[in-house]
């Protein structure tokens, strides 16, 4: 059975709204520090503030790159990645260029992934590739997984949470079935309760992106108390 310490380290505690204010970041980082979550997931402009707020906590700052559409050039994504890292980000979640994937321009997708993963690797930062599966066919998902096996980001991720759908068990199983233990899988989008969270982990997810981290953790703790 999963322990509380294991559960909380799954969470990328998320606040990616365009109207995020300093108070939102203070609350987000305060919760992450209190519960011991793995990371806070924020827009890259918030990296420096969150790094300061989380100083000494061991909680990582995760910057979302080309978020949520992925429709910027490789050079722009690389620049934003470098800027976020310079401002304190420890982890990078970038959105692929779906237009180029749909056009079967796999060389472009491979170069994009290679360059961003290289920048992260050089900085000692964790890299995550967001597929946005709600817009993709299963074949496109498989191709992305195969490219990830070549380029070796730390994680591949189901969704931004801003598309027409979020994480599904079927997608997590598909992704995990292809990459195995070579690349980890992050499930994100629509995960708001403990049952769904644990099902995603059972399917193969090793990180959970959610704004409901506190709610899920408290649900877990209440379940332990009820069973005691």
pLDDT tens by residue, 14-60: 999 999 999 999 999 999 999 999 999 999 999 999 999 999 999 99
Judged by DSSP in three states, 184 sits in strand
Closest alpha carbon to 37 in 81, 91, 115: 91
| Strand pairing category for 126-130 and 207-210 | unpaired
- Give percent helix, percent strand, percent coil of the chain, each to the nearest 5: 50, 15, 30
Which 8-state DSSP code applies to residue 202?
Answer: H
> Domain residues for 188?
4-227
Tell me: pLDDT of 228 over 50. Answer: no
Domain count, the chain: 1
CATH of the domain at 124: 3.20.20.70
Which of the residues are catalytic?
A: 93, 157, 186
């Amino acid at each position: 059975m999963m322990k509380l310490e294991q559960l909380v380290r799954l969470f990328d505690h998320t606040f990616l709204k365009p109207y995020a204010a300093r108070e939102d970041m203070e609350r987000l980082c305060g919760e992450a520090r209190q519960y011991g979550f793995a990371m806070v997931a924020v827009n890259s402009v918030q990296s420096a503030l969150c790094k300061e707020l989380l100083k000494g906590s061991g909680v990582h700052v995760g910057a979302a790159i080309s978020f949520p559409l992925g429709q910027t050039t490789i050079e722009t994504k690389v620049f934003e990645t470098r800027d976020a890292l310079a401002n304190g980000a420890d982890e990078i979640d970038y959105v692929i260029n779906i237009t180029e994937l749909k056009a079967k321009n796999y060389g472009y997708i491979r170069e994009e992934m290679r360059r961003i993963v290289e920048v992260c690797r050089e900085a000692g930062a964790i890299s995550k590739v967001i597929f946005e599966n709600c817009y993709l066919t299963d074949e496109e998902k498989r191709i992305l997984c195969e490219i990830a096996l070549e380029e070796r980001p730390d994680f591949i991720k189901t969704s931004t949470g801003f598309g027409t759908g979020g994480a599904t068990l079927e997608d997590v199983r598909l992704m995990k079935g292809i990459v195995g233990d070579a690349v980890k899988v992050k499930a994100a989008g629509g995960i708001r309760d403990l049952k769904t969270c644990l099902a995603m982990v059972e399917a193969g997810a090793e990180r959970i992106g959610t704004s409901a981290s506190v709610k899920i953790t408290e649900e877990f703790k209440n379940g332990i108390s009820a069973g005691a």
